């Protein structure tokens, strides 16, 4: 069963694999300015999450995403559509 909390946790786990250990990754970290995530890495992160949830999530959602929390919130609708209410 997925919850908003577990989705956010998953985002943070995937993200920690992609940034240097020295970076402090929090729910409200700025993905670009704080964590230095380039656009390609943002798209790679989304691919990982698609596989995690076995979903199709267009990269278009990244246009409005600045933080892990915002990304998790954007994922909720897709997870709900596929796996039921979150």
List of residues contacting other proteins (CB under 8 A): 38-41, 43-44, 46-47, 50, 54-60
Token duo for residue 48 = 């990982």
Tell the smallest beta-carbon distance from residue 30 to other proteins (Å): 12
Cα 61 from Cα 14, distance rounded (Å): 17
Cα 6 from Cα 43, distance rounded (Å): 21
Tell the smallest beta-carbon distance from residue 10 to other proteins (Å): 18
For residues 24 and 58, which CB has a smaller minimum distance to other proteins in the complex?
Answer: 58
What residue has token string 């989705």?
7
For residues 5 and 43, which CB has a smaller minimum distance to other proteins in the complex?
Answer: 43
Tell the smallest beta-carbon distance from residue 6 to other proteins (Å): 21
For residues 27 and 61, which CB has a smaller minimum distance to other proteins in the complex?
Answer: 61
CA–chain centroid gap for 75, Å, is 7
Token duo for residue 4 = 């908003």
């Amino acid at each position: 069963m997925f919850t908003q909390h577990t989705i956010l946790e998953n985002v943070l786990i995937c993200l920690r694999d992609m940034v240097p250990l020295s970076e402090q990754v929090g729910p409200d970290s700025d993905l670009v300015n704080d964590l230095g995530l380039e656009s390609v890495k943002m798209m790679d992160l989304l691919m990982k999450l698609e596989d995690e949830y076995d979903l199709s999530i267009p990269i278009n959602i990244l246009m409005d995403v600045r933080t892990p929390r915002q990304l998790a919130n954007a994922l909720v609708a897709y997870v709900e559509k596929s796996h039921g209410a979150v």
